[in-house]
A and B are shown apart, each in its own frame.
Chain A
Amino acid sequence: MSDFIVPKLQKEKIIEYINQGKRLDGRDLGDYREIEIERNVSVNAESSVRVKIGKTEVFAGVKLGIIEPYPDSPDEGTFMTSAELHPMASEQYDIGKPGIESVELARVIDRGIRESGFIDFKKLCIKEGEKVWQVFLDIVAINDNGNLIDVAGLASLIALGSAKMPVYNEKEEKIEHELSNEPLPLNKEAMSFNITLHKINNSILLDVDKEEEAISNCRLSIAIGEANGKLRITAMQKGKEGVITEKDMENILNLVEDKWKEIFPKVKGYVFEEND
């Protein structure tokens, strides 16, 4: 509808602060805003969650269905992600058509999860060539105050991590209206968490708010996981027209390496409910 305007003096001030390692809300460049998690927001879902980071808020839920497998993977379940970037979430989204942001968000999250091997697709096979489980991950954005990708990513992981399989009646070949105690088959060690960095001036920032996002001209989303106790990258997506120099890449990888040690255990805790 309208472009979000950041006044010139504001942009200059944000950059002035960034050069001193600070942001307008007092945070350091690598700090996240306050995180709020509410689980099980829908009793009708295999799992559901509401996640808020700062004022950016997202709902995510997992539902399961049964379908014929794809011909090239007859013994694997399927996975589909949808992301509604509702005009509810921001003045900048239009009613009706899902804009490119909506499509990109769904695809980035989908890829991160799919490529990491987090979901054990083989264990989702019911009858090879005939019946497999279909995993639906649905994301609804309520408010966009920056860094929607990471908030949606976290919500997605938490939803997947707490999902329970519905009861499957083998004799009648149908899904009962009830959940079992069996969790969605996951390879926990393969979990990948999405972290988006923005370049403003020559500094790299984490968890940008709406204003910072508007003035940054380059962002890089990285899906990070763990392999043998070390950091492993499973997906990447660069956005916006700015470029990443070699020095930028070095700074990015250093920041990610630093933050990974701090953030990854926390995320694992949220996803597998070890802490809240």
Chain B
Amino acid sequence: MDKEGRQIVVPGETIVKGNEFLPGDNVYRDGEEVVSKRFGIVEISEKHVRVIPVSGAYYPRRGNTIIGTVVDVTFNGWLIEFGGVQNAFLPVAEVPRYINKNELREYLDFGESVIVKVWDVKSRGVDVSMKMRGYGKLEGGLIISVNPNKVPRIIGKEGSMVKLIKSATRCEITVGQNGKVWISGNSVEEELATKKIIEFIVENATINGLTEKVEKYIKSLGMKSEIEIIEKNTGEDEQDG
């Protein structure tokens, strides 16, 4: 059990016993027992047992929003490095406007960064798309890398945490599920403060009352948020996002 009474398990550890339990992510069945396959936190909802990892690399899932950088331009698309095992492929058909094959580099060149959505995960790699609203090339700003398993804490319940940071620092923030966060503000001070706040959240992600601590930390940096988080129990339970 950790400080909040959640069950932390290591690989090979028995989580529950009983045939009525259904093994979900990162667990397996061994006779009557449901056993963990990864180091992480147990989540049981309606007999569905899964383990949420606390550390380790990012594994892309369909629908995820990720931030990456172009490392190769082919005749029909771009290869995007995003911290995964393989690179992602952005086909030329998946960008908002028509690009003919001589224009690829003009539209998106080596080293340029993008926000894309994962629409297919295959063994040879991940396919992404940039067609939808809210996705596209990133201009300016900076990218920081954090433990991808802490991303839900940075976003907060229904985005409450990231809204809190935005209102205090007046920076644009986009959080990729892959642990890359894009920050863009009007001054060095505001951008650095945003970076510090996010790093604070990652470092304190497992403790109780995170939201209050973050508000205190923001104040200590000389900044003030215009949003009040009303529910005191936020920040602890959401593992979605």
Contacts and interface: CB of A to CB of B under 8 A. Distances in A.
Interface string B187-220: 0100010011000000000000000000000000
Contacts of B109: 8
Interface string A5-44: 1111111110011001010101000000000000000000
A12 B192 CA distance: 15
Interface in B161-209: 188, 192, 195-196
A8 B188 contact: no
A24 B195 contact: yes
Interface residues of A, number: 15
Contacts of B143: 7, 9-10
Interface in A28-82: none
> What 8 A-B pairs are tightest by C-beta distance, nearest first?
A8-B111, A13-B142, A7-B69, A7-B113, A9-B113, A8-B112, A26-B192, A22-B188
B141 A5 contact: no
Interface centre among A9, A16, A22, A24 (most CB of B within 10 A): A9
B139 A9 contact: yes
B81 interface: yes
Nearest to A17: B188
Contact of B112 (A6, A7, A13, A22): A7
A16 B140 CA distance: 10
Contacts of B69: 5, 7-8
B195 A13 contact: no
A26 to B, nearest CB: 6
B142 A10 contact: yes
Interface string A135-167: 000000000000000000000000000000000
B221 to A, nearest CB: 11
A16 B189 CA distance: 13
Contacts of B142: 9-10, 13, 24
B73 interface: no
B71 interface: yes
A5 B81 CA distance: 9
B146 interface: no
Contact of B71 (A5, A9, A10): A5
Nearest to B69: A7
Contact of B111 (A7, A16, A17, A26): A7
Contacts of B16: none
Nearest to A3: B71
A223 B71 CA distance: 37
A9 B188 contact: no
A11 B71 CA distance: 15
B140 A13 contact: yes
Given A5-B69, A22-B188, A24-B192, 10 more contacts: A7-B143, A8-B69, A8-B112, A9-B141, A10-B113, A10-B143, A16-B188, A20-B188, A24-B142, A26-B196
B141 A13 contact: yes
B200 to A, nearest CB: 13
